[in-house]
Amino acid sequence: MEDLKKQLLGIINEVIDDARRGERPKDWSFLHPDIKFMEGYKNSKIQGEQNAKSLIEQMAGWGTAQDIQILSSKIMQLHTDSCMLICIIEIEKKSAKPEAVYSIGKYTVKFSFLWKQVENVWKILYIHMSQPEKADNPILLDNAVKIPDETSNDLWLNPKELLYVEAKNVRSELHFRERLVMAQESLSEWEKKLPDYFLRIHRSYLVNTGYITRLERYCVHLRGGDVLPVPAKKYSQIRRQVLDGAK
C-alpha cells in the first residue's frame, strides 16, 4: 500500500508543483471521465471531467503565486481496483496576477480522493472537500469584487481584467484572457455588481466593453479571439451603447 500511496501522492504533487509555478496542470489523465467533486460543507456537487478541471484550476489558484503543500496523508484499500487517499493540504496565497485578486491568507483543507483503477491506470473518480480551516485577514485591491464563497478561501476579481461573464444555468463562468473561474452567482446578479462598462449583449453574456475590438451584425469580437452573439432585435441598441461607451 505504501508504494501505491507514493504513486498517487506523486500525481497530486505534480498538480501542486504546477500551481506553485502559476501554471495549468500539463496532464489531466488522472481524472476519471465520470468524476464527481463534492464540496461537502456547502452540499455543492459538480460532475464531469471538464467541470472538475475548471474547479481544480480555480482552487489551485492557477495564475497566482502561492505555496501549497501536503501536511499529512493516509491511504485505505477499498477493493482490488479502488482505494481512498485522504490528504490534509495547506494553501497560502501570497500575491496575484492582474487577472484575479485573491485574499491573501493561509488555511488547511481536508481532501478525500477516491481512486479507481481503469485498464491498469489509477484515476480519481470522486473528490470530497471539507471546510477550510483558519484564514488570515484578506488584503484587497481597490474596486475588487468578491465572488461569494462560504469558506475562508475568498476569491476576488479585478473587474478591469474580466473579459465577459457567461451564464451557466443558475451559475456563471468568468472569462479572463487565459483563465476561467466558476461562480455561484447568476448573470443578473453580476449585472448589478459589476461596473457600468459591462454590457448585457445577450441573455447569456455580460461583456466588458473595453475588450470589444469589432462589432459586426449580430456578433461582437473580443480581444483574444472570442466571438459572442448579439440578438438581431437588440443589435441596433447594443451597437449604439457600445459606440457611446467608446466616445
For Cα atoms 132, 173, 134, give the angle at the middle one, nearest 5 degrees: 10
Q: Centre a 10 Å sphere on the Cβ of residue 164 and count the other Cβ atoms it contains.
A: 24
Q: Which has more confidence, 115 or 58?
A: 115
- Dig out the grid coordinates for 69 from the structure: 503543500
Instruction: Please tell me the total number of residues recorded for the chain in this structure.
Output: 247
Q: Which has more confidence, 228 or 176?
A: 228
Average pLDDT value over all residues in the chain: 79
- Inform me whether the pLDDT recorded for 102 exceeds 50: no
pTM given for the model: 0.51
Q: Which has more confidence, 126 or 152?
A: 126
Average pLDDT for residues 186-192, to the nearest whole number? 90
- Inform me whether the pLDDT recorded for 207 exceeds 90: yes
**Domains of the chain from N-terminus onward:** 2-99+106-135 (3.10.450.50), 162-246 (2.40.50.1020)
Q: Residue 43's pLDDT is what?
A: 66
Q: Nearest to residue 177, comparing CAs of 190, 153, 160, 201?
A: 160
- Inform me whether the pLDDT recorded for 98 exceeds 80: no
